[in-house]
Chain A
């Protein structure tokens, strides 16, 4: 059973890596990289929102921590990915634990608004700590990542090369997601979400588990930020607007929160719908809003919930 899952994972990874060969153009490769980054961000978001009901709107803060850590270390100290990635991940996890401590004392909605504040404060800092971030003039000239593993060279210099690295990042994110939401850890957080007081009475420390999830979510988000900084070579405050949070909310809640299939489907639907609409400017936004509203109204458990429900009905009818 487990072996077959590992084999399935390896096959999927190989297929995902092969997709770059099929990508007909740089545009397509770039779209695949965007999709991969969104998958990582959406998995990080769903770790919290889908499994302990804590809707963290702080994604821009952690994304900024990752991107600026990479940007600053790479431009000032010529640090490579093997330095910027661990540094950003550690910093993000620390910030998550420090911010989570007071935030998790709040009720559901208050937690969301408090974390929204964290994102807005991060954007204000990015704009104003000009000596550190370059402010609105951005941090420019971030060197692309380049890691040589023997004959295999991983790099973010071109969209096709970056795609391979992005797929590896997705694989790490998936493994983290599964490690924290399945088996023993998954049953523990399911218990916390079901009845926190009961879980506490049974000797589980809810705060510790929530902080672990927040730290993992923040670290994955920061890792995506590191990748983004090396890939685009420019880091600007505008990259960390509340729009990022809105996109993640849309992917996870339209796809289906708390389910791996829902998160992946949501990210794919989001990129599939929003990319073609981008050329239409404001009319595209209007259409996007209409499609989103229709999806939210029509699918109470997300599109994935509807698909699995449909599959269940077909199976029981057969």
Chain B
């Protein structure tokens, strides 16, 4: 039983990190109609910014991590104002190829800068553990859950309470009407890219101490986040996040119970099963792109 619970906790950790990337992807798809196949690379980039800040400036994790998240917000801004602007006018198929080019650029750029070998980010909290309900988890995992919860609730609050969040939802629901009401699409698009970049940044800095940091860690995360968004089937943050958690748990259970070799494909098996039963996705409404 404890083994099962431990695997579920592992899965929820992994799923919540997928969730941060999936939320950014869903926001970009829903609000600005942008299919970003490089989104997992932002998680990778954030982990390397963290590695660089610690190794280069000797900053402690508690300082370097928020700085890396901030840096990813800036990356989101720059991405929005350069490549994003040009690709926004294209169909999602060209966005797919354009963002794949960004993926190739970022991966090979990081290899040239940091080498292809994995880096680890040791933090003190990852070695200290706490026993809760019969299972032992590291304090860093507790930090991960708390930080993800804060990020998720913060995003929900922003989308439901803040004027900018309401404008984003208005754009997602009815683009033409929102434009007629004077919503500045360009500004909202930039804000969405910054938010999505920062969310992936949070994922990256939380991910780094748990697993190793490699130049190719981004693409699998992109795949799973895309699967979660498709599985959720709607631009509801709750559904996207729940789908990501489900994927993470399915993967961890497969890994823990003799199907480790199929772990990578597991998320897609779950997605295909969900879509066979509910082609419109978990949340009901068919996805629009």
Contacts and interface: CB of A to CB of B under 8 A. Distances in A.
A53 B289 CA distance: 13
Interface string A5-18: 00000000000000
Nearest to A250: B97
Contact of B264 (A106, A124, A285, A293): A124
A238 interface: no
B92 A108 contact: yes
Given A117-B227, A286-B108, A297 B86 contact: yes
The main secondary structure of chain B at its interface with chain A is: helix
The main secondary structure of chain A at its interface with chain B is: helix
B94 A109 contact: no
B90 A300 contact: yes
A23 interface: no
A137 to B, nearest CB: 14
A109 B108 contact: no
Interface stretch (B47-55, B64-72, B270-278): B270-278
Interface in A104-136: 105-110, 112-114, 116-118, 120-121, 123-124, 127-128
Contacts of B288: 107
B226 interface: yes
A28 B89 CA distance: 40
A246 B101 CA distance: 9
A121 B93 contact: no
Contacts of A262: none
Interface in A263-318: 282-283, 285-286, 288-290, 292-293, 296-297, 300
Contacts of A93: none
A254 interface: yes
A246 B97 CA distance: 8
Interface residues of B, number: 48
Interface in A130-179: none
A168 B200 CA distance: 48
Contact of B223 (A120, A282, A296): A120
A302 B115 CA distance: 34
A257 B111 CA distance: 32
Interface in A66-114: 102, 105-110, 112-114
A107 B109 CA distance: 34
A114 B230 contact: yes
A304 to B, nearest CB: 14
Given A121-B265, A290-B105, A300-B90, A113 B271 contact: yes
B182 to A, nearest CB: 29
Given A282-B116, A289-B101, A297-B87, 8 more contacts: A106-B279, A107-B288, A114-B272, A117-B272, A246-B100, A282-B112, A296-B94, A297-B86
27 contacts: A102-B276, A107-B287, A107-B289, A108-B289, A109-B29, A109-B35, A109-B92, A110-B275, A112-B96, A114-B230, A114-B272, A114-B275, A123-B265, A124-B264, A128-B261, A246-B104, A253-B94, A282-B108, A285-B108, A286-B104, A289-B108, A290-B101, A292-B101, A293-B98, A293-B105, A296-B97, A297-B83
Interface of A: 49, 53, 55, 102, 105-110, 112-114, 116-118, 120-121, 123-124, 127-128, 242, 246, 249-250, 253-254, 257, 282-283, 285-286, 288-290, 292-293, 296-297, 300
